[in-house]
Structure formats: structure tokens, C-alpha cells
Amino acid sequence: MTSGTLDKTTSGFVLAAAVTILFNTALALAKDVSASLTAGMKQLTGHHWTTHGIADLILFLVLGFIFSQTRLGSKLGANAVTAILIGSVIVASLGLAIWYVFV
């Protein structure tokens, strides 16, 4: 094991995944709070869940390309983007579980 860096595409898409996973939870909570948002998302594809999934995918791809081109992930460093990814999954998962326990 000699190298400790990630290429710009890898680190960019890892960061994009972390942001998308947090966005996914935020959007789920927002849909619960706002009936008009849920209705608007339903109008787009016929079901709010379908729109939700497509929005996640588009965000992941777009942010991945942007973060790769701007080298944002590379600037943060390999260990930082890995920690951000792990942290985002923990926060997003607990956020969903706690929300649906109390709502």
C-alpha cells in the first residue's frame, strides 16, 4: 500500500453520493410536511416515489460531474470524503428512522 489519494472522478462521485443520500432523507421529510410538494411530485411522473428516485439519480450524476470537474472531493482528501460518506449514511438512516417513529 503506497498511494493514499483518490482520482478526481472517484472523490467527486463519493462526495456526490454523500450529498444525494442526505438530500434523499431531507426530501422524504419535506414530502411528509408539505402536501403540495408531494402532489407536485406526483404530477411529474404519476407517483411521488418515482419522482423522488429520479431526482436522487439526476442529483447524484450532476453533482458527481460537477465535483469531479471542480476537484472538490480531491481538495478535501481521501480520508475526509470517506468519513463524509459514512457520516451521511448514518445521519440519513437515523434521520428517517427517528422521523417515522415520531410522525
> Contact positions toward another protein, by CB under 8 A?
1-7, 9-10, 13-14, 17, 20-21, 24-25, 28, 46-47, 49-50, 52-53, 56-57, 60, 78-79, 81-82, 85-86, 89, 92-93, 96-97, 100-101
- 4 or 35, CB closer to another protein? 4
Minimum gap (Å) between residue 66 Cβ and another protein? 15
Minimum gap (Å) between residue 76 Cβ and another protein? 12
Question: Cα Rg for the chain, rounded, in angstroms?
Answer: 16
DSSP symbols for 11-72 = HHHHHHHHHHHHHHHHHHHHHHH-HHHHHHHHHHHSSHHHHHHHHHHHHHHHHHHHHHHHTH
Minimum gap (Å) between residue 36 Cβ and another protein? 19
- 40 or 49, CB closer to another protein? 49
Evaluate whether 21 touches 93 at the Cβ level (below 8 Å).
Answer: no
> Under 8 Å CB-to-CB from 10, ≥6 apart: which residues?
73
Minimum gap (Å) between residue 47 Cβ and another protein? 5
